[in-house]
Chain A
Amino acid sequence: MSIIALDAPGKNVLLMGNEAIARGALEAGVKVCAAYPGNPSSEIIGSLSQVASQRGIYVEWSVNEKVALEVAAAASLAGLRGLAAMKQNGLNVASDFLFNLNLTGTKGGLVVVVCDDPSALSSSNEEDSRAFARIGDLPLLEPSTFQEAKEMTKWAFELSEELGLPCLIRSVTRVSHARGNVELGELPSTERKAKFDTARPIIPVPVAWTHRVLHEKLEKCKGFFEKSPFNRYDGPESPELLIVASGACWMYAAEAVETLGLKGRVGIVKLATTWPLPEEFLVEHLKRSSTVLFVEEVDPFIEEAVKALAAQRGEDVGVKRFLGKATGTIPSVGEMTPDILMGALKSIMGIPYEPRPADYAKRAMEAAGEAPLRTLGFCAGCPHRATYWAIKKALTLDGRDGFVLGDIGCYSLGMGPAGFFQMKTLHAMGSGAGLANGFGQLGRFGLEQPVVAVCGDSTFYHAAVPALVNAAYNRANFTLILLDNSATAMTGFQPHPGTGRTAMGEEVPVVDMEGLCKALGVEVEVVDPFDIEETVKRLSRFLESERGVRVLISKQECALLRARRPERERFKIRVDHDLCLGKECGCNRLCTRVFKCPGLVWDPSSGKAQVDEAICTGCGVCASICPQSAILKEAATT
């Protein structure tokens, strides 16, 4: 049961930004919610799925964001309210549909929430999704606080219905994953019946007409935005500096101004409806000061639009000194923080600010230097460690400088020491298999290196199936290793077509990965990565083949999934110190130095390896790689 469905209007609760968005959707009477997991957006549909039956709504983990948006759009076209949530990359995937939907229009309220991840705290790339609003001529809202996230989402459904357009809400990690006070509203009990109007065809052409209609809708939206209470101004009548801030940056701006004691000198325009711009509102406040500082992340989206507005309305607004990313006052990459902003304000306003004595800072930095780094690695018993170990061995024995193309998931750690540096490329979901299609055709141009792609099970259903079809059809020559750990692990174990369970907890037949590959007519084998020798053997054979794509399904359950079950340990593992060679020539700490499972501890005082029983999950892989057979494995007693 999630707190977001608490029926207690007026109660003050601590909600995560994503939970507030979910609550706002519930308060608006949303009926259909769909998403694909992606940080920092996963908790929106995640929390809605927990209350789905309770609230009588339909919630789905779709295989990708385009399908998710289509699912939510269907609800809208049938007169119900729908919500689709995604991270920045998801909007890229959904955009083809979105830029047709804007022209065909919607019926029931449709809200698309995109959660950007400035500084790529848990992403492969950095991207400012707000540009999609401009490209698609769609209304865009940016919440700055948690209460606002809820209120804005609720209002966005009404706005969407008024305009007949999907409404974009753009959040960022620091709002989505942060928590704050939210006063709960009423949960509705309205019922609508789903009905699709078959009288009128829904088609984006002829664009001469539909595109014009779209523009008219946007004009109408501007009218709403001019009156929106989400936009406001705080500060003196005529400040020395006017800050225009949106999203999380507004919180930073408010705090920075207060902390630096600049409340009397600096005014802040909180812009929440950021596309289309509420022009009159902005013109009114731009008049207040001759110096304007734009604070936003990541791109100068508002900055450029407002400067264009100021140029257009020069006579009303006057000549301005604009500061922001264009002037280098604010960094043009990465997330904004209160400290970066305070630094900029210090120099603009010419004020000193030292939060703490310089010598303390120096001592503290030195002391922190002693804290050893926590590099990321695979969990104890992770099948990816075993698969990458086998891949490394097979490629090294093959000797033709073969390489691994990959993409996103826990297995992305294959680029680093945890995965023995095997993965060589990382792009979008399914890109490993996609690139392999290309590399797999370069033999005719002299490429002699064997091509391998890795792809997780969730990623397979998300994006790699078309790539595999392409490979079968165009006869690309590569080996595809499907890392099937029965989980969408990195984002929090959301179910997918291979897990046999839906978002709403229903048990469903598994979409059989091996069967799917067979149906495509490709050579496919299944192997347990914990059996290293067998995996190396099969992979070595596949590497030598030149007959089109081969699929090796490396199938073993995620260690964290297994840990939730009572019979979590497969084997009891221990190191025989009489046999262990430790640092000596003949071993040189293969298990701790190279294999590096956190369950294996190097004890410098005894010069031997030992097993940390609290961490070891008993997978037994280490026992098979020890050159002395000094790691013993016995069947675990329950």
Chain B
Amino acid sequence: MILEKDPWNIIITGVGGQGNVLVSQILGQMLVDKGYVVTIGETYGASQRGGSVMSHLRISHRAQFSPLIPEGLADLVVGLEPTEVLRVLAPYGNPSTIVLSNTRAIYPIDVISGDAKYPALEDVVEKIKGLSKKLWVLNATEIALGLGDPIYSNIVMLGALASLELLPIDEEGFARVVEILMPSNRLEKNLQAFRKGAQAVREFN
């Protein structure tokens, strides 16, 4: 698949512990397998302890690009957490940005402890819609919980992304990468998560 823009820039964002880095690695390898030049930059440090996480993926036919996407040049944002999408769109979004977002909130400690308020989810989704060209949503966490562990929500999102046909990624390519990168007894569960994501995603109007 020829990229409409080279490099094509994806940001995958979420909260520490959601498996953000792993899913960006899987997606990156899937694209490398398809012949692309991929650069992934991560912003994490102490994120395991509850902070925001961002992966910048650059996809190109011709060159390695900076692991940091320049301001305003995100083509696609995949959000494992809705407010993190807003946090990413502020520096990197533009009117043509496409967004795929999980609709389940993860509360920061200040909200959990009652010292801060989490905005109403409908408002957040509306705001995301207002800042993007197209928006797709699904409750990936709920699907993952149905499979037994919220940690699968990142794979659910990957399956959803695959179904949008923005990139040449599919279940077969996914299975091949998972076999190398992850413990073998989890392959079946991961495939289920991938498929359910593909089925559940819908466009938000």
Which residues of A are interface residues toward B (Cβ below 8 A)?
A: 3, 12-14, 39, 121-122, 145-147, 174-175, 177-181, 248, 251-252, 254-256, 259, 337-339, 342, 355-357, 360-361, 363-365, 367-368, 370-379, 410, 413, 418, 490, 560, 589, 592-593, 596, 598, 600-602, 604, 612, 614
Q: Which residue of chain A lies nearest to B63 when distances are taken between CB atoms in the complex?
A: A254
Contact A372 B110 (CB under 8 A): yes
Given contacts A121-B45, A356-B95, contact A363 B131 (CB under 8 A): yes
Q: Is residue B168 contacting chain A, with contact meaning CB distance below 8 A? A: no
Which residues of B are interface residues toward A (Cβ below 8 A)?
A: 15, 25, 28-29, 32, 37-46, 48-52, 63-73, 83-84, 86-87, 89-91, 93-95, 107-119, 123-124, 127-128, 130-131, 150, 180-181
With a 10 A CB-CB cut-off, give which of A121, A259, A371 has the most chain B CB atoms.
Answer: A371
Main DSSP-derived SS at the A contact region = mixed
Contact A252 B28 (CB under 8 A): no
Contact B127 A370 (CB under 8 A): yes
User: Could you jot down 14 A-B contacts, CB within 8 Å?
Assistant: A121-B45, A174-B68, A179-B28, A179-B39, A180-B64, A259-B73, A372-B117, A373-B116, A374-B52, A375-B50, A378-B49, A490-B46, A596-B113, A598-B112
Contact B93 A181 (CB under 8 A): no
Contact A360 B94 (CB under 8 A): yes
Given contacts A368-B90, A376-B46, A377-B49, contact A338 B83 (CB under 8 A): no
Contact partner, B70, options A342, A374, A596, A612, Cβ 8 Å: A342
Chain A residues in 8 Å Cβ range of B116: 372-373
With a 10 A CB-CB cut-off, give which of A373, A374, A560 has the most chain B CB atoms.
Answer: A374
Contact B32 A181 (CB under 8 A): yes
Chain B residues in 8 Å Cβ range of A372: 83, 108, 110-111, 116-119
Chain A residues in 8 Å Cβ range of B73: 259, 355
Contact partner, A180, options B38, B107, B109, B181, Cβ 8 Å: B38
Contact partner, A364, options B38, B51, B93, B109, Cβ 8 Å: B93
Q: Could you tell me the distance in whole angstroms from the C-beta of A573 to the nearest C-beta in chain B?
A: 15
Contact A367 B131 (CB under 8 A): yes
Chain A residues in 8 Å Cβ range of B46: 122, 376, 413, 490
Contact B28 A377 (CB under 8 A): no
Contact A375 B40 (CB under 8 A): no
Given contacts A177-B42, A363-B131, contact A370 B108 (CB under 8 A): no
Contact partner, A181, options B38, B66, B113, B124, Cβ 8 Å: B38
Chain A residues in 8 Å Cβ range of B39: 178-180, 251
Q: Could you tell me the distance in whole angstroms from the C-beta of B58 to the nearest C-beta in chain A?
A: 9
Contact partner, B119, options A248, A370, A377, A589, Cβ 8 Å: A370
Chain B residues in 8 Å Cβ range of A598: 50, 109, 112
Contact B90 A178 (CB under 8 A): no
Contact B84 A371 (CB under 8 A): yes
